[in-house]
């Protein structure tokens, strides 16, 4: 077993896989990579199964020292990664030598990046998932001085020079795919039109649980009897602001659920930072 020394934890870094399925009936959030698409690509480049634990990093990446050789990949947000002093690219298989230091710089595009490692990170497994979440796991975020474990590689190189041709357009896509939410039809037609045509800015109130949008709407709806919610549920709050629930969201809620993001919509939303604009594009159910 090999170790990574955390020289700097970054803004908000955590181990995530594809989530904790089947425990929501106990009030346990799904969790998992905010942008599941990028997390899957990070694993695919390494020949890992898509659900291996990856490190999710946010806007400001961490500084990590690898104490043994390995292979890694970096996907999702473009955060200017470097190995030692060498600039490296996203979506490529990257060779790590003993004592190499991975660091990040300026954020160029997107919000969340994913570091995959050959064989996946080794981390505590709770309720069938490796995803870190405050009330379930011992850690919520990476801390300075912490050690992250992984399998040291026996390979000299990969037989193919693996890389993935990724259209990074989704990182800056303004349009978020949505379906009708259960309470959309309680709004007047003009309100429905407004939600589906307006541009909204991402508020500073945004994290793994939810992303609030700035522009308030007129809201005359009463709260509903507490009902189920999911990652991607868009709630209309009493103040008229929209809240997009994300991967760590609660399982139930009492605000009207006006829209529901598609899986792709959630991944796109996960790449937005404060001030980014989004608009909702309705998908009709075939």
For residue 21, state whether it binds another protein (rule: CB under 8 A): yes
Question: What mask of x and - would describe binding to another protein in positions 120 to 159, judged by CB under 8 A?
Answer: ------xx-------xx-----------------------
For residue 225, state whether it binds another protein (rule: CB under 8 A): yes
For residue 1, state whether it binds another protein (rule: CB under 8 A): no
For residue 261, state whether it binds another protein (rule: CB under 8 A): yes
Query: At CA 60, angle to CA 58 and CA 62, rounded to 5?
Result: 90
Q: Are the C-beta atoms of residues 64 and 101 closer than 8 Å to each other?
A: yes
Q: How far is the CB of 127 from another protein (least distance, A)?
A: 6
Among 12, 139, 214, 227, binds another protein (CB under 8 A): 227
CA distance 128 to 28: 12
For residue 84, state whether it binds another protein (rule: CB under 8 A): no
For residue 222, state whether it binds another protein (rule: CB under 8 A): no
What is the H or E stretch that residue 69 is in? none
Residues forming a β-bridge with 260: 179, 233
Contacts of 191 (CB under 8 A, 6+ apart): 217, 218
Q: How far is the CB of 267 from another protein (least distance, A)?
A: 12
Among 90, 141, 233, 267, binds another protein (CB under 8 A): 233
Alpha helices of the chain — where are they, by DSSP H?
Answer: 36-45, 189-197, 263-269
Q: Max CA-CA distance within the chain?
A: 64
Among 77, 232, 246, 270, binds another protein (CB under 8 A): 232
CA distance 123 to 54: 10
Handedness of CA 233, 236, 242, 243 (dihedral sign): negative
Among 144, 175, 252, 277, binds another protein (CB under 8 A): 252
| Site residues for another protein per CB under 8 A | 21-28, 126-127, 135-136, 179, 181-182, 185, 224-228, 230, 232-233, 250-252, 257, 260-263, 285-286
């Amino acid at each position: 077993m090999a170790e990574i020394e955390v020289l700097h934890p970054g803004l908000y870094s955590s181990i995530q896989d594809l989530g904790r399925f089947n425990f929501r009936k106990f009030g346990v959030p799904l969790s998992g990579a905010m942008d599941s698409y990028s997390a899957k690509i990070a694993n695919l480049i390494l020949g890992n199964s898509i659900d291996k634990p990856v490190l999710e990093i946010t806007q400001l990446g961490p500084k990590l020292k690898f104490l043994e050789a390995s292979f890694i990949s970096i996907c999702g947000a473009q955060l200017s990664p470097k190995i030692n002093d060498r600039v490296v690219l996203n979506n490529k298989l990257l060779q790590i030598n003993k004592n190499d230091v991975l660091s990040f710089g300026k954020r160029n595009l997107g919000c969340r990046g994913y570091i995959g490692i050959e064989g996946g990170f080794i981390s505590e497994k709770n309720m069938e998932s490796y995803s870190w979440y405050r009330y379930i796991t011992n850690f919520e975020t990476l801390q300075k001085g912490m050690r992250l474990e992984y399998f040291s590689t026996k390979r000299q190189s990969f037989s193919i020079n693996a890389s993935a041709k990724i259209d990074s357009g989704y990182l800056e896509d303004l349009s978020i795919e949505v379906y009708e939410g259960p309470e959309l039809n309680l709004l007047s037609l003009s309100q429905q039109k407004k939600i589906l045509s307006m541009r909204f800015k991402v508020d500073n109130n945004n994290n793994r649980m939810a992303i609030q949008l700035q522009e308030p709407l007129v809201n005359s709806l009463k709260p509903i009897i507490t009902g189920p919610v999911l990652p991607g549920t868009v709630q209309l709050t009493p103040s008229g602001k929209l809240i997009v629930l994300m991967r760590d969201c609660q399982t139930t809620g009492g605000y009207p659920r006006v829209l529901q993001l598609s899986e792709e919509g959630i991944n796109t939303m996960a790449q937005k930072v404060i001030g980014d604009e989004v608009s909702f594009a309705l998908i009709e159910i075939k």
